[in-house]
Amino acid sequence: MTALRIAVANQKGGTGKTTLSVNLAAGFHRRGPTVLLDADPQGSAGHWVRVGGEENDLPPVQGLDAGGVRAGILQAGKLNRYVLVDCPPHLKSDVLRQVMGAVDWVLIPIQPSPLDLWASVDMTQAVQGARVGNPQLRAYMVLNQLDERNALSRSMHQALAEFEVPALANGLARRAAFRSAALEGGSVYRMGGRGAHAVRDVEAIINEVLSK
């Protein structure tokens, strides 16, 4: 079995790494054996699954300790079809670098404001650095907390064009369902009609990744 290994990373906090990685993991879990590796010492993804208890629809979440990042990801890839990695919000530790050395994809959630994009510029260098040892690494930004009613501003398009990492065509809108899912300890897939639009966002990202 060759696994698809996807890290969700941004050195900036609060951009939606955990929200995106947990919901992507739930979507992939419906397609095949999946594990979510939590490389963030804050352990939000693990907390998220524990809130849901046995009723949650999430794949197993396993901690990934700084000492065994590469080995942990490769081992998870032997046992699963899909491996998601939720990353810590800093570039200081070596963890992010090690993760990017051992995955096929890195998805970088950013909020659709030029300020947030500029704050994520260090990620470009981190991606380029990781490609020295992992030349196949595919990197895309994923716009998060899009306002459904407003098209992206012209300044955002310009800022995106200057950024060396391309953006996926699909992103996540800002939706109460993403917050409710965390409160309830499951994914948006478990929310029925309340989560339908959010599921559509997540599915579009998964299908885009699988088709590239």
Q: What is the DSSP string of 104-117?
A: SEEEEEE-SSHHHH
CB 4, CB 81: distance < 8 Å: yes
CB 147, CB 173: distance < 8 Å: yes
Q: For residue 13, state whether it binds ligand ADP (rule: CB under 6 A).
A: yes
What residues between 126 and 155 interact with ligand ADP by CB under 6 A? 144-145
Total Cβ atoms within 10 A of residue 150 = 8
- Segment near Mg ion (CB under 5 A); pick from 17-25, 70-78, 101-109, 154-162: 17-25
What residues between 21 and 50 interact with Mg ion by CB under 5 A? 44
Q: For residue 182, state whether it binds ligand ADP (rule: CB under 6 A).
A: yes
User: Exactly one of 15, 56, 98, 170 binds ligand ADP (CB under 6 A); which one?
Assistant: 15
Cα 48-88-84 angle, rounded to 5 deg: 60
Q: For residue 41, state whether it binds ligand ADP (rule: CB under 6 A).
A: no
Q: For residue 23, state whether it binds ligand ADP (rule: CB under 6 A).
A: no
Q: For residue 178, state whether it binds ligand ADP (rule: CB under 6 A).
A: yes
Cα 204-103-182 angle, rounded to 5 deg: 50
> What is the enclosing helix (H) or strand (E) of 25?
helix 17-29
The site partner of 82 among Mg ion, ligand ADP, none (C-beta below 5 to 8 Å per kind) is: none
Nearer to ligand ADP, 79 or 183 (CB): 183
Q: For residue 101, state whether it binds ligand ADP (rule: CB under 6 A).
A: no
Q: For residue 18, state whether it binds Mg ion (rule: CB under 5 A).
A: yes
What's the closest the beta carbon of residue 40 comes to Mg ion, in angstroms?
A: 5
CB 13, CB 54: distance < 8 Å: no
